[in-house]
């Protein structure tokens, strides 16, 4: 299933519901909650929704409003290590479960989210954890 197929399966409304379910969980999360703008969660929700419409469906609203995504640069101000990546993916997993995303779509979305989330990491894997023996396990 390619990205266009994910888009067709989810539909605009499905993506909106998924992103809403994700952001509903953010303020109560001990790790990620404090990172997000408490005064502008509605705006943050809209930005992720429009980004997904752009990335999966080729819809131009995100670049029209925000320009090139440059997601790594935009995440630069936040400390994103393994724990933050894992938590983001966990919360998105819970949102997908709540929205009853079809298993074949879910598998594809999980792979897509995991790839982007990994790319957002800007901390050394060993920071904040025990020193790795030999080479880091990634």
Using CB under 6 A, list all residues that contact ligand HEM.
32, 35-37, 40, 44, 47-48, 51, 66, 71, 74-75, 78, 80, 84-85, 88, 113, 116-117, 120
Closest to ligand HEM by CB, 7 vs 88, is 88
Closest to ligand HEM by CB, 21 vs 133, is 21
Rg over CA atoms, the chain:
16
Instruction: Please report, to the nearest 10 degrees, the dihedral formed by the alpha carbons of residues 96, 59, 50, 66 taken in order.
Output: 150
Nearest-approach distance from CB 38 to ligand HEM, in angstroms: 10
Quick count: other Cβ atoms within 10 Å of Cβ 99?
18
Closest to ligand HEM by CB, 48 vs 102, is 48
Nearest-approach distance from CB 34 to ligand HEM, in angstroms: 9
Burial of 114 (0-12, 13-18, 19+ CB in 10 A): middle
Closest to ligand HEM by CB, 84 vs 108, is 84
Helix axes 41-57, 3-25, angle to 10 degrees: 170
């Amino acid at each position: 299933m390619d990205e266009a197929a994910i888009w067709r399966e989810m539909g605009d409304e499905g993506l909106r519901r998924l992103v809403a379910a994700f952001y509903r969980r953010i303020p109560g999360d001990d790790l990620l909650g404090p990172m997000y703008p408490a005064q502008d969660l509605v705006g943050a929700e809209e930005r992720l929704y429009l980004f997904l419409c752009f990335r999966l469906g080729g819809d131009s609203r995100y670049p029209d409003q925000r320009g090139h995504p440059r997601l790594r640069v935009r995440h630069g101000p936040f400390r994103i290590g393994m724990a933050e990546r894992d938590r983001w993916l966990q919360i998105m997993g819970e949102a997908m479960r709540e929205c009853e995303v079809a298993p074949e779509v879910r598998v594809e979305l999980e792979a897509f989210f995991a790839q982007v989330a990994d790319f957002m990491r800007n901390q050394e894997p060993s920071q904040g954890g025990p020193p790795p023996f030999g080479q880091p396990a990634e």
